[in-house]
Chains A and B, each alone.
Chain A
Amino acid sequence: GAGVSQSPSNKVTEKGKDVELRCDPISGHTALYWYRQSLGQGLEFLIYFQGNSAPDKSGLPSDRFSAERTGGSVSTLTIQRTQQEDSAVYLCASVTPGTQYFGPGTRLLVL
């Protein structure tokens, strides 16, 4: 069956522009996470969606970052007024109890 997909796979943008990153999770999975990973670093938690509960946004680094999950499925992470330090791989994970799958990630480069 289909796994987790993310788009775009790569994104190059100019400082100050807005970007939208998309995650299509596995159908039926109840939870979804966004992480980012800078070169050679560990995974930094950004936001967590669980069913219909309010999302845990505690990891979002600034108010330039926001995310939504429509219909309990597709999620979009938006970064406004991008900065060079936003350059990283943004990973989405689709989760059901005991089973978790990461998408291939979006590599964001802010020039």
Chain B
Amino acid sequence: QKEVEQNSGPLSVPEGAIASLNCTYSDRGSQSFFWYRQYSGKSPELIMFIYSNGDKEDGRFTAQLNKASQYVSLLIRDSQPSDSATYLCAVKGSGGTSYGKLTFGQGTILTVHP
């Protein structure tokens, strides 16, 4: 089992719709969760991070965390073609040799079509 799993997609949504990106993780003790966006040929850029169960909203983006289910998601409201990119989920390890280390999922390709 991979430590951080994402559906590779591609996920295609129409402009204006809600895009839902999902991520599961195996380390139950993980405390910090991050979403990155990566445009083709560019480096990842941090969109949001979340530490607590529940929702965290920032503009059109909402991160949702459920530690009991070991599940984190990213919702993008009013999707725009400029949101088309690969979205990477990352989890920070909880202890031992994993402490502080970020583990990334393989990423989900999102395409927003006009």
Measured CB to CB, the residues of A under 8 A from B are 31, 33, 35, 41-43, 45, 48, 50, 56, 58, 91, 93, 95, 98-105
Contacts and interface: CB of A to CB of B under 8 A. Distances in A.
Nearest to A4: B43
Contacts, number: 42
Contacts of B101: 33, 45, 48, 56, 58
B70 interface: no
Contacts of B1: none
A72 to B, nearest CB: 15
Contacts of A102: 43-45
Given A56-B97, A98-B49, A100-B34, A45 B43 contact: no
Interface of B: 34, 43-46, 49, 88, 97, 100-107
A50 B107 CA distance: 25
Q: Among B45, B46, B102, which residue has the most Cβ atoms of chain A within 10 A?
A: B102
A58 B104 CA distance: 15
Nearest to B49: A98
Contacts of B102: 33, 45, 48, 93, 95, 100
Contacts of B34: 100
B114 to A, nearest CB: 25
Nearest to A98: B49
A50 B44 contact: no
17 contacts: A35-B104, A42-B107, A45-B103, A45-B104, A48-B100, A48-B102, A56-B97, A56-B100, A58-B101, A91-B43, A91-B44, A95-B102, A98-B49, A99-B46, A101-B46, A103-B43, A104-B43
Contacts of A33: 101-102
